[in-house]
Amino acid sequence: MSAADKTYHALLARHDAMRLRRQLLSPGGGPDADHGSGFGNPAGQPYDGAADQRIIMRHLDLVTPFEELIAHLYQALFTRHPSLRSLFPATMEFQQAHLARAFWYLLENLDKPEQVVATFNQLGRDHRKLGVRPAQYAAFEAALCEALRIRAGEHWTEELEQAWVRMLRFGVTAMVQGADAALREPPCWQATVTGHRLIGPDLAVLRVRPHEPFPHRAGQYTALESARLPHTWRSYYLAGVPGREGELELHVRCTGPGGVSEALVHHTAVGDRIQLGPPKGNLRLDEKPVDELLLVAWDTGWAAMKALLQELDGRARTAPGMPRVRLFLGADALSDLYDTEYLTGLERRRPWLTVIPVTGTAQGEDVYGELVRAVTRSGPSASGRALLAGPPAMVQTVTAALAHAGLPAERVLHDLLPAGPRDLPRSAEGFGPAGAQEFPGQPVPA
C-alpha cells in the first residue's frame, strides 16, 4: 500500500471513529440516527417523489441520452476534484453504464419511495468498501447540476434542476443512512486465496479464507476486488456452506481480457490477497413449507443453487418432510456444465431432488428457449416457489415464462431489479467510486 493510500485509509478510519463516538454520546443515538450528514432523512421528511418524477419525465428529452449527461458530469467532477479520479477504476465504461441504470431506476420508482429507500440503504452499506463519504456526494451533486445546465442549454430551468437535486438527495440520504446502520461491520473483508482449481480453459473454482468472520446465508453473493485491478469490483455468488476456518467457494468464468474475471481465473494463485464486499442478495429459502421448489440456474449461477441445496440437505436430516425440488441447470453447451459428479451423488442420495440439465441450442434472442420449455413443460405448482440465478436476460425470460404459466410474481425470487426504459436499469449501482458492478453470473467483460 502506498503512503498516499495509507494516509487516505487512516483518514477514513478516523472519520468512522468520530461518527461512532457521536452516535454513542448522542441522546437516542444509534446506527439509524441522523447526525448532520447534510442530507434529509427519507423516513422523517415526506418526499413527493411522484411530483419530481412528472417534472423530470416531462423534460427528459432535454438531458438524454444519459450517456452524454454522465460524460459531462464526470468531466465536471474530475475537473473540480482531481483527487477523486484515483478512487474510480481506470476504465469508466461500466461506471457510466451503471450510473445511467441508477438514474433510470430512480425515475421508474420515485412514486414508490419505500422501495427506493430499501434499495439505496443496501447500496450505501455496500459502497462503504469504496470509501464513499457524504462530502463526495455533495461534489457529485454540484457536478450533476453543471451537467444538467450544459445538456439543457437555453431550455434549462431552475424547476428542472431542483427536481433532479431532490431526487438525487433522496437516494443519497438513503445511502448515507444505510452506511451508518452498518457501522459496526467492516466495510470490506480482507481474504487469502487458499485454493484455485481450473475447470476447462475459462472457468475456475476459488476457495478464499476471510481474515475476519464473514457472516452470510445461502444464496447470497459478494463483490470482489483483485489486487491486480484496484477500485474495480465484480459480483460472484458464494457456493456452498463455509468450509474449515470459514473458507468460501467462488465460481468464476473468464468473460473477456483485461478484467477482474481474467485476473481471477488466469492470474491468481494460492496465497494471493483479495477483498470481499458485504454479502447481499434476494435468494433465500422460505421457512414456510411449500409443495414444490424450482431452482433455475445458468452457468455459474449454479454456485448459488449449490449453497441452497446444501442448506436444504441440512434441513432434510431433521425435517419430517421435504418439498419436491427440481433443479434446472443450463449452459451454452454440454461441455460447459461442471460439478456434475457432486450433483449426481446428491441426486442419488436425496429422493426429493431431480436434476434437469439443459443446453442452449439456439442463438440470439432464443438462446434460453430450451430452458424455458423445460421449466414450464410440466407446469409449476401455483403454491410452489422459484429461485433464479444467472444472466439478466435468462432471469427476465424465465420470470416472464413462469408468470405466463401461472406462478405469482411474489413466488419468484432473483437478484435483478425491475427492468425500466430501454431495458437499462438492471442495477442501481453507480453513484459512488468504482460502483460499476454486474449482477453475479452476468456474462459481461469482468
Question: Phi/psi zone of residue 219: left (φ > 0), alpha (ψ -120 to 50 degrees), beta?
Answer: left
**pTM for this predicted structure:** 0.69
- How do strand 221-226 and strand 203-210 relate by DSSP bridges? unpaired
Cα–Cα distance, 314 to 137 (Å, whole number): 44
DSSP assignment of 371-412, as one string? HHHHHHSS---TT-EEEEES-HHHHHHHHHHHHHTT--GGGE
Instruction: Look at residues 326, 310, 323, 340 and name the one whose alpha carbon lies nearest to residue 374.
Output: 326
How large is the C-alpha radius of gyration of the chain? 23
Cα–Cα distance, 436 to 98 (Å, whole number): 6
Q: Please state the φ and ψ torsions of residue 145, each to the nearest 5 degrees.
A: -60, -40
**pLDDT tens across the length of the chain (446 residues):** 444 444 444 444 444 444 444 443 343 433 333 433 444 445 556 889 999 999 999 999 999 999 999 999 999 999 999 988 877 777 788 778 878 988 998 999 999 999 899 888 888 887 777 666 667 788 899 999 999 999 999 999 999 999 999 999 999 889 888 888 877 878 889 999 999 999 989 999 999 999 999 989 999 999 999 988 887 888 999 998 766 678 999 999 998 888 899 999 999 999 999 999 989 888 988 877 678 899 999 999 999 999 999 999 888 777 667 788 999 999 998 889 999 999 999 999 999 999 999 997 655 557 899 999 999 987 777 778 999 999 988 999 999 999 999 898 889 999 875 444 433 333 333 333 323 334 454 433 33
Instruction: Look at residues 334, 333, 255, 347 and name the one whose alpha carbon lies nearest to residue 305.
Output: 347
| CB neighbour list of residue 335: distance below 8 Å, 6 or more residues apart | 200
Cα–Cα distance, 343 to 56 (Å, whole number): 51
Q: What domains does the chain contain, in order, with CATH numbers?
A: 3-181 (1.10.490.10), 189-276 (2.40.30.10), 292-414 (3.40.50.80)
| Bridge partners for 223 per DSSP | 235
